[in-house]
Amino acid sequence: MINNILPLIIALFVFNGLSAQRFPGGPPPSFEEKEAQIKAHKIAFLTEQLNLSPEEAQLFWPEYNEYSLKEAAIRAEHKALRKKMRDADQFSDAEVEEGMLKYMQVEKAEVELKESYHPRFIKVLGVRKTLQLYKAENEFKRVLLRRLKGGGGPH
């Protein structure tokens, strides 16, 4: 039980410290700085949750980093399409249909990416730790969203 709660407590302290990284009265952290801090906290969180051995970490992190870069590119494409489709009233029906088809292609690419990395994660981590990885990613997102919404607490 303590092993499950400890990473959450660590993450909460870390997220609380995100805004305290600057001198009082100084400029707020840039988007890139916040993004780098969140990435560092995610790495620590996943490492703690997965209890990676040095050998596992050496094999896992290059795979996961490559996966994360590809996932980020797909998410950026999703975001661009959502932004474009906000103004759908300005497009013809054919353009709207094209946008919807492109959106589905991007969603398919996201699923295909996950499917292609799933066996790679299993090869490095085994089945149970791969499941832990997926659970830890979801928990990290929940904690981060709560923190960003100002909730801060682990509930």
Give the pLDDT confidence of 112-152 residue by residue, as tens digits.
999 999 999 999 999 999 999 999 999 999 999 998 888 65
User: In this structure, is residue 51 part of a structural domain?
Assistant: yes
In a domain, 139, yes or no: yes
Count structural domains, the chain. 1
Residue 88's pLDDT band, with cuts at 50, 70 and 90, is: confident
Range of the domain at 97: 2-148
Please state the pTM of the whole predicted model: 0.73
Query: Is residue 142 in a domain?
Result: yes
User: Would residue 153 count as lying in a domain?
Assistant: no
CB 94 within 8 A of CB 136: no
Query: Is 40 inside any structural domain?
Result: yes
Q: 153 pLDDT band (50/70/90 cuts)?
A: low
Residue 52 is encoded by which pair of tokens? 């990676």
Task: Let me know if residue 154 belongs to a domain.
Answer: no
Average pLDDT, the chain: 84
Residues 6+ apart with CB under 8 A from 110: 71, 74, 78
Q: Answer whether residue 27 is part of any domain.
A: yes
